């Protein structure tokens, strides 16, 4: 059975109260300060893993199942979240956003392939919204990353490119909440790295590595080339994509939560011995790079530490 509580404890929830049967917290989907969100933690409840958000205006985000919530927290599609759960817990009667219980199918391993989508889909998004500028992202960086704006759905568009520069997927992020979605039929994010096409195209040897696209854009606005994993998962495909690139040195900037620590340790373990790994020592109250920058933090003044082996990695950044 899926351990819902253990999965959720990897992430920070504002104004959180944990009981044996429920998590009560501020909504992770909105800019919320009050406990208007809940998740059922009682494994004997038929709605185990389901959640509700009493303050949501969008009906799609008022309630749902655990797969939908985990996909949001992991910054990936529902299909990728199901695959993660199936790999970790195996097939069995589990949780889904559409049905309370279902049997997760065993997924077949397909031969590796590169999904490319027509870049002309971006033509209708050639607009600019001040959302990212307000979060400290410079106009040159927005142009470099081909950021656009979907006026109909009020969402920033963040194209994800394959290593060869072709378009693989597009992420849509609402400007009035934290909700997002991806282009249907696009390449799975688990196979991609945000910004890696620049490293391949310009033969860059050094890069910072973060989880979120906006954190990558924040560092790039400070003059530091950065790629992003697009969430806390660091898959074999992402690792191989990085190791095949010209990058010889990477500096890890983690989020300040349990998932961020797990991400840092996973990445350092996977890359150790292949390329040089450094750790950015960003301590303090800020959740991530962008929040730090938006509150006056000088990104370029942060110290880094070499990570020669896993024991050093685990010792030097436990904050």
CB-CB contact of 169 with 183 (8 Å): yes
Give the CB-side neighbour count of residue 228, counting CA atoms within 13 A.
24
Distance of CA 248 to the CA centre of its chain: 23
**CATH number of 4-103: 2.60.40.10, 3.40.50.880, 3.20.20.30, 3.90.580.10?**
3.90.580.10
The predicted-structure confidence for 177-191, as pLDDT tens digits, reads as follows: 989 999 988 999 999
Give the CB-side neighbour count of residue 295, counting CA atoms within 13 A.
9
Q: Which residues of the chain fall below pLDDT 70?
A: 91-113, 283-284, 301-319
Task: Give me the long-range contacts of 51-54 (CB less than 8 A, separation at least 24).
Answer: 53/27, 53/29
Backbone angles phi, psi at 34, to 5 degrees: -115, 150
pLDDT of amino acid 99:
38
In this structure, what token pair is assigned to residue 184?
């249907």
In this structure, what token pair is assigned to residue 202?
């310009």
Backbone angles phi, psi at 250, to 5 degrees: -130, 140
In this structure, what token pair is assigned to residue 145?
């990353």
pLDDT of amino acid 59:
86
Residue intervals of the chain classified under CATH 3.40.1360.10 are 119-316
Strand order in the sheet with 22-25: 17-18, 22-25, 37-40, 51-53, 63-64
pLDDT of amino acid 209:
98
pLDDT of amino acid 32:
86
Query: Tell me, what DSSP letter sits at residue 10?
Result: T
pLDDT of amino acid 121:
96
Q: CA separation (Å) from 44 to 8, 21, 52, 70? A: 18, 9, 18, 20
pLDDT of amino acid 303:
66
Q: pTM higher than 0.85 for the full model?
A: no
Is the domain spanning 119-316 CATH 1.10.10.10? The answer is no
Residue intervals of the chain classified under CATH 3.90.580.10 are 4-103
Which residue reads 């020669």 in tokens? 308
Q: Cα–Cα distance between 310 and 308 in angstroms, integer?
A: 7
């Amino acid at each position: 059975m899926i351990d819902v509580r253990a999965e959720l404890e990897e992430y920070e929830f504002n104004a959180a109260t944990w009981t044996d049967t429920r998590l009560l917290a501020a909504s992770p989907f909105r800019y919320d300060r009050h406990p208007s969100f809940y998740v059922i933690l009682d494994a004997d409840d038929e709605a185990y893993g389901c959640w509700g958000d009493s303050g949501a205006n969008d009906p799609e985000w008022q309630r749902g199942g655990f797969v939908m919530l985990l996909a949001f927290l992991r910054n990936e599609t529902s299909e990728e979240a199901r695959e993660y759960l199936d790999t970790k817990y195996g097939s069995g009667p589990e949780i889904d956003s559409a049905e309370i219980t279902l049997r997760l199918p065993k997924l077949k391993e397909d031969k590796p392939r590169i999904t490319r989508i027509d870049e002309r889909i971006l033509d209708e998004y050639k607009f600019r919204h001040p959302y990212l500028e307000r979060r400290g992202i410079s106009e040159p960086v927005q142009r470099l990353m081909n950021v656009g704006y979907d006026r109909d759905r009020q969402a920033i568009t963040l194209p994800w490119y394959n290593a060869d520069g072709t378009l693989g997927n597009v992420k849509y992020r609402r400007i009035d909440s934290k909700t997002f979605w991806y282009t249907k039929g696009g390449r799975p994010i688990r196979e991609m790295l945000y910004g890696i096409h620049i490293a391949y195209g310009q033969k860059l040897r050094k890069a910072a590595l973060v989880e979120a696209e906006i954190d990558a854009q924040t560092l790039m606005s400070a003059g530091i080339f950065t790629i992003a994993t697009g969430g806390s998962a660091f898959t074999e495909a992402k690792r191989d994509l990085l190791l095949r690139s010209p990058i010889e040195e990477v500096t890890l900037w983690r989020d300040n939560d349990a998932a961020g620590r797990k991400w840092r340790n996973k990445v350092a373990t996977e890359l150790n011995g292949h390329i040089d790994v450094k750790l950015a020592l960003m301590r303090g109250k800020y959740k991530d790079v962008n929040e730090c920058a938006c509150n006056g933090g000088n990104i370029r003044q942060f110290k880094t530490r070499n990570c020669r082996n896993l024991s050093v990695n685990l010792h030097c950044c436990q904050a």
